[in-house]
Amino acid sequence: MKYSKRYLALTVILLIAFAAKLNTWNDEYADVAAFRGAQLQDDVFYPLKARSVNEEGLLRLTVGEQTYGVQDGVILGDHMTVLVSLDFAQQMFGCSAHLYQEDMILVDYNGETYRFYIASTDAQRGDKSIRLSSMPELHDSRAYLPLEDLCREFGCEYYWDDVNYQASITEGYQTGSLPSKYDLREKERTAAIRNQGSNSTCWAQAALGALESSLLPEEQFTFDDNHMIEENAFAIDSSLGGNYTMAVAYLLSWMGPVAEDDTTVEKHVQEVHFYGQDDIDAIKWAVYQNGGVSTSIYANVTTSNLSKSSYYNRKKNSYCYLGDEKPNHDVVIIGWDDNYRAENFSSEVPGDGAFICQNSWGATFGEQGVFYVSYYDTNIGEQAVSYAKVEETDNYDSIYQSDLCGWVGQVGYNKEKIHAANVYEAQTDEQIVSAGFYALGKDTEYQVYMVPDYKSQASLANRVEVAGGTLSDAGYYTIAFDTPYTVEQGERFAIVVVLSTPGSSHPMAIEYPSDGLTEHVDISDGEGYISNNGLDWESVEEKAGGNLCIKAYGRHIQQEE
């Protein structure tokens, strides 16, 4: 049931008045009044007060020069203590935090493992029992940890002003470091081993394996790889194989994923990060916090015959290719070992260290489907994808898009900056609340603008900025607007994205028919424009023969009851 703020405020006033009346009762009822007053305060009043503070956006957390609030995953809990979501804890402290079986939260930080329990002040640091000052809580099926206890355990000072609802982390704050060895198998965060047989479907197997891992241990799915292979926008012969951009496009367009023996889309992928071979530490962080990362390698044989490869050590289940061949096979990175000995590989490698990888050649291959790939392998880490934000299917009511095949190529003016705009027609009366786009390089700066009531290219001059920032990793991002914009059914509106990507000459992703895999791209379903300066615009269809990879997301307007 949805409650209006007016109703909540009235409820709080009545409860306060009721509590005051209890205090005026005569001595004959003193014991009863005290008992009922305590129950009212702890069980009813505090949660209502906390909810009001959260809804009004009064709570603030300051860390250095940064300020965070409810939208970032910082809330006031039912016991009037500051709580942070697991995602926020990971981002803020550089830890790994995940919910197990709906009541236990496992946190890894600086080589120490913690176990917290929902609605309990009992916790564990390694094998030692510890007592928390506040209890972890569940809100809307999301787990939250008490910030004061995290600060105490992680060695930083915490201050809370309960009058102004201002929290701060002052001295001692630092992010955690990666362990020298980490294995998702030990954390129950790996998907089931797949077997592609003689089919060229590793791209889909690896993508879905990584996606399934990103949802573990909180949620366990087995997604249908055949649906990804056959029901995408590319309309290709599955024997031709595929690549990571095809898998990402299928997921970002909400065509999937679907569970086996079903056609219902189970999740909405809203953010993915891309990595290259030089991003070893970044890939480790992605595995540590988000789960499996799909990547490409070169395999000089097919399927389980890799055992016969001169680059594979069957006794050690290790692999390293040092040649110049391009990648042709996808696997999932599920961990690493910095001390994995160089002599474990068949060929001579420059040093120790290996990624722990899950293959799609069945459980009889390697170490029950798993093998070790040297950090020095020519291709490991190339075309790597981490599924960083996967949400429920009710996160938005509508998606506006014309790039079902996603990132096929890129366009620009031979410089780092570009202005781009996609025009859409509102499907119903609703609010446009977010936009999505690709960042094709690290440290991409962006500004997002909304243009309601679009009439012509001249309307683009009336754009209003709704978001801005910097994206540290390449990838696809869904950016929430600072202020939602209401559109009426049939109204045309535009999303303008300005990108500046260091070192890039073509920073905007487009879809277009470039080869046999993408010859079925439909570029007639979009209306997009690009500009060198934000003043003079030209059609991207005429200029580059493609559609811009810019999406918009809407929510129906909810009426107050």
- Taking 70 as the threshold, does the pLDDT of residue 33 lie above it? no
Query: Residues with Cβ < 8 Å from 17, sequence gap 6 or more?
Result: none
313 SS3 class: strand
* Token pair belonging to 189: 């965060």
Nearest Cα residue to 167 out of 82, 79, 50, 77: 82
Nearest Cα residue to 52 out of 118, 119, 4: 4
> Residue 217's pLDDT is what?
96
Q: pLDDT tens digits for 142-194?
A: 999 999 999 999 999 999 999 999 999 988 888 999 999 999 999 999 999 99
Report the C-alpha gap between 547 and 508 in whole angstroms.
Answer: 11
Handedness of CA 21, 25, 30, 36 (dihedral sign): negative
Nearest Cα residue to 233 out of 529, 542, 534, 513: 513
Beta strands of 30-153 (E only): which ranges? Answer: 60-63, 66-68, 74-76, 82-85, 96-100, 104-109, 112-117, 122-125, 128-131, 137-139, 142-146
Percent of the chain surpassing pLDDT 90? 82
pLDDT band at 237 (very low <50, low <70, confident <90, very high): confident
Query: Residues with Cβ < 8 Å from 186, sequence gap 6 or more?
Result: none
- Taking 50 as the threshold, does the pLDDT of residue 16 lie above it? no
Comparing 253-257, 261-265, 497-501, the range with the smallest average pLDDT is: 261-265
* Token pair belonging to 94: 């550089």
> Residue 11's pLDDT is what?
47
Q: Cα-atom radius of gyration of the chain, to the nearest Å?
A: 26
Q: pLDDT tens digits for 532-560?
A: 999 999 999 999 999 999 999 999 987 65
pLDDT band at 521 (very low <50, low <70, confident <90, very high): confident
Q: Read off the amino acid at residue 72.
A: D
> Residue 522's pLDDT is what?
82
Are the CB atoms for 357 and 334 separated by under 8 Å? yes
Q: Which residues pair with 537 in a beta bridge?
A: 531
Q: b vs e for 182-205, b when ≥16 Cβ sit within 10 Å of the residue's Cβ?
A: bbbeebebbbebbbbeebbbbbbb
> Residue 171's pLDDT is what?
84
- Taking 70 as the threshold, does the pLDDT of residue 405 lie above it? yes
In the block, which residue shows the tokens 């391009």?
326
In the block, which residue shows the tokens 């329990």?
117
Two domains, one topology: 181-388 and 396-556: no
* Token pair belonging to 231: 């029901």
> Residue 14's pLDDT is what?
43
> Residue 525's pLDDT is what?
87
- Taking 90 as the threshold, does the pLDDT of residue 236 lie above it? no
Rounded to an integer, the average pLDDT of 369-392 is 97
Rounded to an integer, the average pLDDT of 473-482 is 98
> Residue 69's pLDDT is what?
96
Report the C-alpha gap between 521 and 510 in whole angstroms.
Answer: 11
172 SS3 class: coil
pLDDT band at 34 (very low <50, low <70, confident <90, very high): very low
Q: What is the CATH number of domain 60-169?
A: 3.30.457.10
State the DSSP code for 395.
S
pLDDT band at 221 (very low <50, low <70, confident <90, very high): very high
Q: pLDDT tens digits for 448-470?
A: 999 999 999 999 999 999 999 99
Q: Is the pTM of this model over 0.75?
A: yes
Rounded to an integer, the average pLDDT of 120-127 is 97
Percent of the chain surpassing pLDDT 70? 90
In the block, which residue shows the tokens 């420059």?
350
- Taking 60 as the threshold, does the pLDDT of residue 35 lie above it? no
Q: pLDDT tens digits for 261-286?
A: 889 999 999 999 999 999 999 999 99
Handedness of CA 12, 13, 15, 20 (dihedral sign): positive
Report the C-alpha gap between 287 and 531 in whole angstroms.
Answer: 38
> Residue 5's pLDDT is what?
47
> Residue 304's pLDDT is what?
53
pLDDT band at 31 (very low <50, low <70, confident <90, very high): very low
In the block, which residue shows the tokens 């895999």?
517
Q: pLDDT tens digits for 433-443?
A: 999 999 999 99
- Taking 70 as the threshold, does the pLDDT of residue 19 lie above it? no
Q: Which residues pair with 372 in a beta bridge?
A: 318, 356
In the block, which residue shows the tokens 């860390």?
63
Q: What is the dihedral of CA 345, 346, 349, 354, to 10 degrees?
A: -20
Sequence ranges of the domains in the chain: 5-56, 60-169, 181-388, 396-556
Q: pLDDT tens digits for 106-116?
A: 999 999 999 99
Q: pLDDT tens digits for 302-331?
A: 555 555 678 999 999 999 999 999 999 999
> Residue 240's pLDDT is what?
75
Provide the 10 A C-beta neighbour count for residue 491.
14
Write down the mean pLDDT value for the chain: 91
* Phi/psi at 25 (5° precision): -60, 155
Are the CB atoms for 371 and 346 separated by under 8 Å? no
Q: pLDDT tens digits for 81-95?
A: 999 999 999 999 999
CA max distance for the chain:
90
**Domain 396-556 class, CATH top level:** mainly beta
Which fold does the domain 181-388 belong to in CATH?
Answer: Cathepsin B; Chain A (3.90.70)
* Phi/psi at 277 (5° precision): -65, -25
> Residue 301's pLDDT is what?
65
